Amino acid sequence: MDDAAPVFHRAGPVALWRQLADHLATRIASGIDKPMARLPTEPELCATYGISRITVRQAIRHLVEHNLVTRHQGKGTFVASPVMKHDLLELKGIIPTIQEQGLPLTTKLLDLRLIEPDKAARERLHTDEPRLLLLRRLYLSHGVPFGMTEITLPAIAADLTWAQVEAHSCYEILGMLLGIPVARADVTIGAQAANRSLANHLDIPPGTPLLLFERVSLCAAQIPREYTRFWTRADRYRFTMTIDDTVRKGGYFTHIG
């Protein structure tokens, strides 16, 4: 800790653990302890503030319950990253949505190749093409992964280069590079336990619950042209929607890049 230890009122009406929790929460809110910064260990906090380990544990537990810090077994306690919010009724992808919230974002292209599509991709894209283009992309904020996309495109996209895909979002690929503007998208949101591959990429234990966003994008002729699966950590990402009588019935579409 880089500031002078506060004076705790041991005989006051507020418990010591709550005074410590409030002090740490203030540091986080003011930006002294930044998102994903590692907090001192329990012994270090005890030494800094002259309080017992039980008091420190109560304070940290309070911060965890209020989503201000997260614990990672074997690694320590870290300041939580702000929850990212994505409005499903806005035509914005992950990148502009997060940037508008003032949060850093980096992406990493993991895979780009022609594959024999699985049953889900064939059904969603209504195709019997023997080969489709698969791309997988990892999303990180503050250097910590929070989501991964698996996008399947028609074989017409087979000539796309790694550099092109790395530099463009999915809808930019469809509209700018392939000349297939999207007219509609059907979206469903569910849940899935992280398999070993997802767990490794997202740095979470296998079996951790994930949000699963699935989208099928259609061109003006109502032909499915893209199928996306987006897995994201439920503690880092939220899908939101505001509905009023101006929202037309019959669906909506959104943009995950």
pLDDT digits (tens, 9 = 90+) for 178-234: 999 888 888 899 999 999 999 999 988 899 999 999 999 999 999 999 999 999 988
Q: How confident is the model at residue 254 (pLDDT cuts 50, 70, 90)?
A: low
Q: Which fold has domain 84-240?
A: Chorismate lyase (3.40.1410)
Tokens 């989208």 sit on residue: 215
Q: What is the pLDDT of residue 42?
A: 92
With vertex at residue 110, the alpha carbon angle to CA 119 and CA 186, rounded to the nearest 5 degrees, is 45
Q: Which of 150-164, 184-198, 232-246 has the lowest mean pLDDT?
A: 232-246
Amino acid at 192: Q
Task: Enter the tokens of residue 76.
Answer: 């320590």
Top-tier CATH class for 16-79: mainly alpha
Task: Enter the tokens of residue 93.
Answer: 């992808």
Q: What is the pLDDT of residue 232?
A: 92
Select the more confidently predicted residue: 248 or 48.
48
Q: What is the pLDDT of residue 151?
A: 95
Distance between CA atoms of residues 183 and 175, nearest Å = 10
- Cβ-contact 71, 50 below 8 angstroms: no
Task: Enter the tokens of residue 99.
Answer: 């940037």
Amino acid at 151: I
Q: How does the average pLDDT of the chain come out, rounded?
A: 86
- Cβ-contact 101, 254 below 8 angstroms: no
Matching fold, domains 16-79 and 84-240: no
Distance between CA atoms of residues 192 and 31, nearest Å = 34
Q: What is the pLDDT of residue 112?
A: 97
Q: What is the pLDDT of residue 178?
A: 95
Q: How far, in whole angstroms, is CA 176 from its chain's centroid?
A: 26
> Is pLDDT above 90 for 103?
no
Q: What's the pTM value of the predicted model, to 2 decimals?
A: 0.73
- Cβ-contact 98, 141 below 8 angstroms: yes
Q: What is the pLDDT of residue 98?
A: 75
Contacts of 136 (CB under 8 A, 6+ apart): 109, 110, 111, 112, 148, 149, 150, 151
Task: Enter the tokens of residue 131.
Answer: 């080969």
- Cβ-contact 94, 105 below 8 angstroms: yes
- Cβ-contact 81, 35 below 8 angstroms: yes
> Is pLDDT above 80 for 86?
no
Distance between CA atoms of residues 109 and 161, nearest Å = 12
Q: How far, in whole angstroms, is CA 109 from its chain's centroid?
A: 16
Domains of the chain: which residue ranges? 16-79, 84-240
